[in-house]
Structure 1
């Protein structure tokens, strides 16, 4: 009889876990994939990744997939796993903006329920896992960046799955094969980052279950996973020789540790500033979660969070090259930490034990900071209203949602009511869903001219085999993608020097005067986004 009750209990637990998994996945797919075509691809990575994938999809032989190119030149920046997935989607659905973003968005959405499964393996109860996954689902940088045609969402999905399999493999050694497969997927997506993330995972195992380090299954799985990585790198080196070593291994990977690439630099606290800018409101609860994690440092879940947080944050902070999206793999660990704080708050009427954590009362500081965020949401609503400087119904709805959500959460937190937690999660999800339906979720596009009107002008006026130049100091990969050709950026002085000598010469410029005053006859073909398209005759 006890055995039967145990079997029923285990079956119910598994069914409930998979129900939660499906619900989280459905919610994540909606917010990650909705209106992916609402705004164009951004520079630099999105435009470049999409163009590499398009050239792969056009390849007539396997070499186009194994040795990808960008505008006819070897593409040696990153391994092409995600590019290949996008290329398959291009062949299936056609070359479109939403198609370029679709694989990364699906993998980002999948990382949400996978974080829940990881939590079920290591955290005390289902409540902690649900809290962590709910926080991760409504973490703005995760949703926003994960929707892009970039590599980070895919790498994080593979890493979370690797950690989940690593934990399960202590009971089921066959799962070590999955660990190796995830390691291979990380390395074939973003190169050396896969090695760093594997090192973090292995340090966790060494601290929590040192006997597993002597397991032949562990090293056998990692070894098998290394084979496709070694094979791919060996084929690239055999094909490109020293060029591959210099560009891929050194310039695009190792040199970023000790040298600044393309002037992307910052102080050691650069990523702490990134957290302060974009991680609200969940950043409010992170210090409490870290304190509770340190108190529980004898447990497997606390060891994982500490190794993940300290190891990864320290590594990217000491690197010379600083880019905002380098912090992305830290967000799942932070979400788990915040989930611990929220679960302890939910359990605040219980006494602390080895299995449960609890807070005696909800800190007043949480309510104060949530109230300040409510004021900020009201400001955003006014900014996007019909009488504000940038009217947008969806953006105004986002501001309204943030104002009401954080305001109500602050009210219930002051009253020591834990209902502020589901209000915060549900309200943020609805608010961010509205943001994804607006044209403002990818706000970096406002830093430069819109590419779609200019691309339409070029495609309508410039012959396919003609060269076209832009009087500017830097190229726009997104413009190149939508034009399906290179729009070469050169300083205006250099273009004006060649203007009387080369015909026909197509130029995009914001200043017509110098081109009209030259000896060559100038024809204006159109104007878009303050750019004039001219040609000499």
Structure 2
């Protein structure tokens, strides 16, 4: 416990635990394959401004994750594990700043033990632990939001220009990580908390012109550059992928309003009963940090519960709020000289560790979406000069695992009908609209195969296992040389068939 109370050694041990379990999982589809693939394309192309999905402009999300993951490829190689380091470091950053808030504003005798239990809680439960190892944008924006809330709340309790500057910079990075929630959620939490703890006039602390100038200087240039390069980008990014997604129905993962409370109860087991007990106590006995944790938890949970579309990772920003509420109570219980209260925190930690490891093993066991087996089969037979073509399919992890730096042609059968529901087809067709000439080189009609069939000595054709239509007649009768649960691959050899 004394090691965990040290400011740096405790964080180092948390990092070690995250890193040990990080490589277990295959690339998760679609999210990890998509976002790591975009980062890999940025790394290969050398265009660090433009996110690209299979060589086409991809504007669903801003670029911060792609920048950081692309940089990590230079240190670790072009792998999903390298990209997962971004989420791992983001998770550790949020924990560190939360502990700094606690050390700055709790009694010096109490703060180290509380920080130790923050670390234990954030490691020994599936919610934050799994998020720290998932290569997508959710943990990165959760960390930016958490850093902004902690820095600006700490400034409100004890003024510090440095912390105030950090808070506005973190909000700007949050916008570059995932969009407007990077600034909306910290402002929402802080405004409610300031009204409650210090009165409504305290909200004007958030109107700091120098801070907003810093915010705009960091966040705005990329958006302006993309609008100038691709007119219509701002409408697509903000109106379609922010306001319509939040307000409209029919997008992916439609869930009831109680979805996130249920997720938090299950994904924070076995700690969740202690969290509920602590919440009941906080409603009648609050401190400034207790008020902050309560507002932080409730405001963000309600915010994400309102729209019909809900994904598990959206609620990650409340992880530090749960730790802020629970850790002081755990420290008090553990400080008891004897009895069940002293043993309870240790029991919860052991149970959380076992459950987290069990869930990691379970995810590996039930994940059948990965195409790693197909890629292994292709790589074992790959020869210099081979080409790759998708037939009525684009799967995010195959080019990534094959380390294909160039766009892969996709032969499509039928025109795309506009729809709200996300799919690989919708994403790649919408991306092609921003660069029509390049889109026509990558998204092809079936007759384009006549030119592709002789463009390389050997061409690997990747097809859905349950393909309904045959768009490339020459593959009929060829043996399946590689497969995964969802895809099969054929090898077309041009020799003897081409002039």
Is the Cα–Cα contact under 8 Å of residues 90 and 100 in structure 1 kept in the other structure?
yes
Within the candidate set 457, 477, 489, 1:533 is matched to 489
1:157-236 aligned within 5 A: 157-169=143-155, 170-199=158-187, 200-210=189-199, 212-215=202-205, 218-236=208-226
Alignment correspondent of 2:82:
99
Cα distance between partner residues in 2 of 1:214 and 1:283: 35
Aligned to 2:348: 424
Structure 1 equivalent of residue 305 of structure 2: 317
Distance across 2 between alignment mates of 1:289 and 1:520: 63
Return the TM-score normalized by structure 1. Answer: 0.72
Number of positions where the alignment pairs a residue of Structure 1 with one of Structure 2: 443
Q: Does 1:248 align with 2:248?
A: no
Number of the residue aligned with 1:111: 94
Match status 1:468 vs 2:392: no
**2: CA distance between counterparts of 1:522 and 1:45?**
34
Q: Unmatched 5+ residue regions in structure 2?
A: 415-444, 454-458
Q: Of the two, which has the highest radius of gyration? A: 1
**Whole-angstrom distance in 1 between the partners of 2:409 and 2:263:** 33
Alignment of 1:10-29 (within 5 A): 20-29=6-15
C-alpha contact 1:471 1:489 (8 A) present in aligned 2? yes
**Alpha carbons of 1:259 and 1:166: their partners in 2 closer, same or farther (altered >3 Å)?**
same
Q: Distance in 2 between matches of 1:512 and 1:180?
A: 50
Q: Return 23-32 or 423-432, whichever deviates more.
A: 423-432
* 1:69 alignment partner, one of 23, 48, 52: 52
Q: Report the CA distance shift for 1:491/1:259 in structure 2 as closer, same or farther (over 3 A).
A: same
Deviation sequence 1:196-235 (CA, Å, 0-9, x none)? 2221223323433455544588442233223221222222
- With over 3 angstroms needed to count, the CA separation of the structure-2 counterparts of 1:195 and 1:214, relative to structure 1, is closer
Task: State the Cα distance separating 1:44 from its structure 2 match.
Answer: 1.8
Aligned CA-pair RMSD: 3.6
Q: Deviations over 1:100-155 (max 9, x none)?
A: 21122122123223322222344563244433342122221211121111122222
Report the Cα distance in structure 2 between the residues aligned to 1:229 and 1:519, rounded to whole angstroms: 50
Q: Where do residues 303-382 of structure 1 align in structure 2 (5 Å cutoff)?
A: 303-346=291-334
Residue number in structure 1 paired with 2:436:
none
1:458 has 2:378 as partner = yes
After TM superposition, the structure 1 = structure 2 runs for residues 484-503 of structure 1, keeping only pairs within 5 Å, are: 484=404, 486=408, 488=410, 502=450
Give the corresponding residue for 2:399: 480
Q: Give the distance between the partners of 1:53 and 1:344, measured in 2 at CA.
A: 45
**Are the aligned partners of 1:512 and 1:532 in contact in 2 as well (CA < 8 Å)?**
no
Q: Distance in 2 between matches of 1:272 and 1:193?
A: 20
Q: What does residue 124 of structure 2 align with?
A: 138
What's the TM-score once normalised by structure 2's chain length? Answer: 0.77
Shift of 1:290: 0.6
Q: In structure 1, how many angstroms separate the alpha carbons of the residues matched to 2:231 and 2:467?
A: 46
Range moving further from structure 2, 423-432 or 146-155: 423-432
Equivalent residues of 1:180, 1:226 under 8 A apart: no
- Asked if the contact 2:269–2:352 (Cα under 8 Å) also holds between the matched residues in 1, the reply is no
Distance 1:96 1:520 in 2: 31
Structure 2 CA distance for aligned equivalents of residues 175 and 217 of structure 1? 15
Structure 1 295/239 Cα, relative in aligned 2: closer, same or farther at 3 Å? same
Instruction: Kindly state the Cα deviation for residue 477 of structure 1 after the two structures are TM-superposed.
Output: 1.2
Equivalent residue in structure 1 for 2:33, among 20, 41, 47: 47
Q: Which runs of 5+ in 1 are unaligned?
A: 1-15, 350-411
Q: Which residue is 2:478 aligned to? A: 523
What SS does the corresponding residue of 1:40 show, helix, strand or coil? coil
214-223 vs 83-92, greater mean Cα deviation:
214-223
Q: Contact 1:176–1:218 at 8 Å: present in 2 too?
A: no
Give me the whole-angstrom Cα distance separating, in 1, the residues matched to 2:10 and 2:363: 22
Alpha-carbon displacement from aligned partner over 1:222-265 (angstroms, at most 9, x marks no partner)? 332232212222222222111x1232112222212111364321
The equivalent residue for 1:384 is none
1:296: how far off? 2.2
Classify 1:290/1:487 alpha carbon distance in 2 versus 1 (closer, same or farther; 3 Å): farther
Of residues 260, 268, 271, the one that matches 1:271 is 260
The answer to whether residue 133 in structure 2 is matched with residue 147 in structure 1 is: yes
